[in-house]
Structure 1
C-alpha cells in the first residue's frame, strides 16, 4: 500500500516502522483537522453572504423606507436610524473598504461570492476526503503492524 506524500512521492507504508507510521498518522490527523476547520469557516462565510442577500432583499425595500431601524455599529452595539436610500447600499468589499452599489449590483456581488465559495468548498471536500482515506489506510497498516509486533512478542516469550 502506498500513500502520496507532500511532493507527490509514493511511500510504501509497509516498509515504515510503527514509530514512523505513528508520525505519518499524526500528520494526517493534523491536516484533516485543519482542513475541516477551513471547511467550516468557508461555510460560515457563505452563510454571512447569504444573510447579506437577505438583508438587501428584505431590509432595503420601499416598504421600510420611513420606518425606524437599528443600525449595527459593532456585533453588540446598535443605534436608532432610518433608511436613507432604497436603491443603493454600501458593500464591504474586504479589508474595511466599502463601495456604494445599487441593490441589484450588491445582490449580484454577494451571489458571485456565494458561488465562488461553493466551488472552493467542493474542492476542499475532495481534499479532505482524500486525506481522510489516506489516514484510514495508515491507521489500518499501523494496526496490522502493532498486532504482528504483539504476536511476535507473545511467540518470543512462549518459545
Structure 2
C-alpha cells in the first residue's frame, strides 16, 4: 500500500468503505431474518401446546388479526420463500426453522470475518492516505 498513489489510496479507501457498508447491511438483514425465524419457532412451540378447537386470534398482517379456531396443530404450512409454502408436520416445521437459524448464524459469522478484514483495509488505507497528504502538503 505504501507504493500506491494518492488517487489509488483514495479509491481503495472508498471501495473498502462501500464494501463494509454493504456487508453491514447484509449483517442487519441476517439479524432480522434470524429474529423472525426464532419468533416462528417459538410460535410453533406455543401452537403445539394448544388443544384442538382452541379459539384464537390469527394474524393476517402485523396489525390485523381475525378470530379463528385451531383445527389441526399437527400440520403447519412453512414459507420456504418466493411465495411457496410446504405442508410439514410440527416437528418438521420446528426442524426447518432450526436449520435455517443455524445456517444464518453460520453466514453471519463468516460475514463478520470478511467485514472485519475489509474494515482493516479501509482503516489502513485511510492512515496511509493521511500520511501521504501530510507529506505532500506544504508546510507554512
Instruction: Tell me whether the two structures share a fold, i.e. TM-score over 0.5.
Output: yes
Match of 1:32 in 2: 20
Distance (whole Å) between structure 2 residues aligned to residue 107 and residue 68 of structure 1: 23
| RMSD, aligned α-carbons | 1.4
| Corresponding residue pairs, total | 140
Long gaps (5+) in structure 1? 1-12
List runs of 5+ in structure 2 lacking aligned partners.
none
What per-residue deviation string (whole Å, max 9, x for no partner) do you get for residues 64-96 of structure 1?
Answer: x33322212222222111111121111111111
Instruction: Show the counterpart of 1:73.
Output: 60
Which of the two has higher C-alpha Rg?
A: 1
Deviates more, 1:91-100 or 1:27-36: 91-100
Which residue of 1 is the match for residue 49 of structure 2? 61
**2-structure distance, mates of 1:23, 1:88:** 55
Give the secondary-structure state (helix, strand or coil) at the position aligned to 1:62. Answer: coil
Please name the residue that 2:89 is paired with.
Answer: 102
Q: Secondary structure in 1 aligned to 2:73? A: coil
Runs of 4+ in 1 over 6 A off after TM superposition: none
Secondary structure at the aligned position of 1:144 is classed as helix
Instruction: Name the counterpart of 1:113.
Output: 100
What is the TM-score when the length of structure 1 is the normalising length? Answer: 0.82
1:62 CA displacement: 3.2
